[in-house]
Amino acid sequence: MASTHLISLSLVLLLIVFPSTEADDYVPTEKKTDVVVEAMVYCQSCDHYGTWSLTGARPIAAAKVSVTCKNHKGQVSYYKVFETNRNGYLFAQLEGFKVQNYLLDHPLQSCFVKLVWSSVESCSLLSNVNYALDGAPLRYENKRLHGSRYEAVVYAAGPLAFRPNGCSHTTQF
């Protein structure tokens, strides 16, 4: 009888020291889906001033670009400024972006990208390449990033371009 009592006590101690990892203790985590906007930012060549051509353009590192989303009532529902990497590439993860109405507030209809600031002092004037002055629209290119508990839907904008400060109108075309 004492040995049975000792075995029971040992089992209780084991359960306290090594808690159960049974399936009913597992709390599943919801898979997170993010919206990401990508774009390239360039300094347009003076040779193509006044056009949308990016022939001879140079990428701009550390350029500031804004992503703005509006709801179906025209109210700003998301706004954030992002910075390009050293290659002029923008990867803007829209943390906190919420779709209230899936059809009307979808990123393709509700979000746009604008140039904010150039890190290159000699190339800091805004251009309207890809409608950047009014807000470059997003496009879906069937690109997704996957992880075990993460998924990102990637939308593209641009490419966008600042133009050099010293271009004259006579160099156009």
Pairing outcome for strands 111-117 and 125-126: unpaired
Selection from 44, 80, 81 nearest residue 63 by Cα? 81
pLDDT in tens, 1-31: 555 554 554 444 444 444 555 545 555 556 5
pLDDT in tens, 106-154: 888 899 999 999 999 999 999 999 999 999 999 998 888 887 777 889 9
15 domain-assigned: no
6 domain-assigned: no
- In this prediction, residue 150 carries a pLDDT of 73
4 domain-assigned: no
Give the chain's domain count: 1
39: enclosing H helix or E strand: strand 32-43
Query: Domain limits at 103?
Result: 28-171
Q: Tell me how far CA of residue 91 lies from CA of 46, 54, 171, in angstroms.
A: 27, 20, 33
CA distance 75 to 88: 30
160 domain-assigned: yes
170 close to 47: Cβ distance less than 8 angstroms: no
Does the reported pTM lie above 0.85? no
12: enclosing H helix or E strand: helix 2-17
CATH code for the domain of 96: 2.60.40
114 domain-assigned: yes
107 domain-assigned: yes
128 domain-assigned: yes
Peptide bond into 159 cis (omega under 30): yes
- In this prediction, residue 171 carries a pLDDT of 41
Residues sharing a CB contact under 8 Å with residue 57, sequence separation 6 or more, in sequence order: 42, 43, 44, 45, 48, 161
- In this prediction, residue 19 carries a pLDDT of 52
Q: Specify the residue for token string 């597992």.
A: 26
Widest distance between CA atoms in the chain: 105
> Greater confidence, 29 or 158?
158
17 domain-assigned: no
